[in-house]
Every structure is written in C-alpha cells, then in structure tokens.
Amino acid sequence: MKLLRYGPPGLERPGLLDAGGAIRDLSGLLADIGPDTLSPAALQALAALDPQRLPMVDGAPRLGTPWRGIGKFVAVGLNYGRHAAEAGMAIPAEPTLFCKWTSCISGPDDDIVIPTGCTRVDWEVELGIVIGSRARAVDEAGALRHVAGYCLANDVSERQYQIDRGGGQWGKGKGFDSFGPLGPYLVTADEVPDPQDLELWLELNGERRQTGHTGDMIFSCARLVSECSRVMTLEPGDVIITGTPAGVGMGARPPRYLEAGDVVTLGGGVLGTQTQRVVAAG
C-alpha cells in the first residue's frame, strides 16, 4: 500500500493511493494515519480493503507528511562511500547518527525556506525507514520485522551551521523549519521486498545532480535499525533517514547551494517523487 495524508497543513485527512494513481479517502474508517496505524495488525486490516469501494478524492490536493506522530527523526551521515569522499571525510567504521528536530518536518512538495542570513543550504535525497513496532536492542537478522514501510526524504542541510558553526553538532544545520520533507507516500514494507534495491535521484532546475542506489550503502537498512535500537528505543512512527549518495551541492566544484527560485525534484522508484520550490524567509 501507499498511505498518504492530504489537505492543508494541520488539517490533513488520511488516504491511500490506488493502483490507478488516484487518491482514495480513508477518513470514514480512521481519524488519521499515526503510530497506531503502523502496527502489523492495523496494516493488515487496511491491506484487506478494496480501494475501489473508498471515496475518490478529486483534483490534486496538497500532500502532507504521510503519517503523524513522529517521535524521533534520526539521520545517518556518510553512508555512501562517494559522498564521504566528496565531503572530504573518512568512511565511518560504525553508523554516524544525528537528529533532525521534528519541527523541521514538512510535506513532500512544500517550499524549502532559506533561513535569514543562510547562504549554504544544500540538498540530500535519502531513503527513509518508518518504524511500525517497538524495537529495543534487536539483532540485524530480525530488524526489518519492526519496519512498517519506507518513504522518500530530502535531508535539507545548512552547511555553515552544520560544519563551521556546529562544533561537531550536525543537528545545528539540519533542523531549520522546512528542512525535513517526507513522502509523498509511506510505502508499506510488502511493496519494498529489498530496501537495498532502490534507485535514488535528485534534480536541481531539471539538471540531474544525484544518482544513487541503496545497494551502495555502507550500512544496510537492517544494520541501521539494529544499531539505532541499541542506543535508543525505536517506537512506532519514528523515522530513520539513511544517508545520501554523492552529488550534493557542497561537493560540486565550485560548490552550488540553493537559492530562492530554485526547484528541487527528487525520486525513488516505488517511493514516488517530491518537488520543492526554494524561497527566502519572509
């Protein structure tokens, strides 16, 4: 299934995407898509529905984050070798973890807002792992049993705050408002039999900037869920974004950072696509 939420910010309604690409309304069956919806039993019940019997949503409404109630937004740094090289950093021996503030979360096609005084805002297409059942100190072999599904993410980053002003605190440059687009869908795990077999790409103003494959990750999705679960309890609704392939603006020669008026488009096969317009803070 491809679960989604549609409507104005703060007033989103639950829905799903049918086989023909139409949005079907779920609000007659559940109030919203949240942590309780992501359990294996709840997803099984939703999968048993006939989408053709659900009301069709007219037009092309705004899509919000596909689920609410994200308690932890965990990110992984330097998880592709070529990206580590373009950043001038060593390949880590263990996953590099940091947090994005949940206040940065936005819909997949919402604007990216350049904060006042910031000049080094960058893009990063990533695969997101959505937790469906509590995971605490789980082994790698069983880690993916705790995953409800996957989503597309853009780990928008302000490099000056991340690197020059961070003092090693990457979160300083990662959590500005609008820096966490997620979606358009939460694609349930049954539709992603191998999360290490997904293409990722990103374009800036129609020019390809990133092309990658999750099979090139240094640490697999199963390893990341296991490692995270050893240093925190992962709860339903938590999301882990898994690192970006090469091609970020910081790695270009000369560097190319986002400017007002730019359009960023990114995709990941079954995960769908995002498109964000870049605007200056008002």
Residue 11 in domain = yes
Pair 42, 82 in one domain: no
Pair 38, 150 in one domain: no
Pair 193, 107 in one domain: yes
Asked whether the beta carbons of 237 and 65 are under 8 A apart, the reply is no
Domain count, the chain: 2
SS3 129: strand
Residue 61 in domain = no
Pair 15, 80 in one domain: no
| Average pLDDT for runs of 10 along the chain of length 282 | 98 98 97 98 97 97 98 96 81 94 98 97 98 98 98 97 85 96 98 98 98 97 98 98 97 97 98 98 90
Asked whether the beta carbons of 130 and 186 are under 8 A apart, the reply is yes
Asked whether the beta carbons of 43 and 188 are under 8 A apart, the reply is yes
Residue 63 in domain = no
Pair 220, 256 in one domain: yes
CATH at 206: 3.90.850.10
Q: What is the number of other CB atoms lying within 10 angstroms of the CB of residue 138?
A: 21
Pair 94, 186 in one domain: yes
Domain that holds residue 222: 73-280
pTM: 0.97
| CA–CA dist 263, 251 (Å, integer) | 19
Pair 102, 6 in one domain: no
| CA–CA dist 208, 206 (Å, integer) | 7
Residue 64 in domain = no
Biggest CA pair distance of the chain: 54
Q: With DSSP H G I counted as helix, E B as strand and the rest as coil, what are the percentages for the chain, rounded to 5?
A: 25, 30, 45
Instruction: Output the DSSP codes for 104-126.
Output: GEE-TTSPEEEPTT---EE--EE
Pair 137, 256 in one domain: yes
Which pLDDT does position 27 carry in this prediction? 97
Residue 68 in domain = no
Pair 211, 256 in one domain: yes
| CA–CA dist 239, 74 (Å, integer) | 6
Residue 58 in domain = no
Residue 116 in domain = yes
| CA–CA dist 52, 230 (Å, integer) | 42
Asked whether the beta carbons of 95 and 217 are under 8 A apart, the reply is no
Pair 236, 267 in one domain: yes
Asked whether the beta carbons of 53 and 18 are under 8 A apart, the reply is no
Residue 80 in domain = yes
**AA identity, residue 189:** A
* Rg from Cα positions in the chain: 18
- CA dihedral (262, 265, 222, 71) positive or negative: positive
Pair 32, 120 in one domain: no
Asked whether the beta carbons of 156 and 122 are under 8 A apart, the reply is yes
Pair 192, 223 in one domain: yes
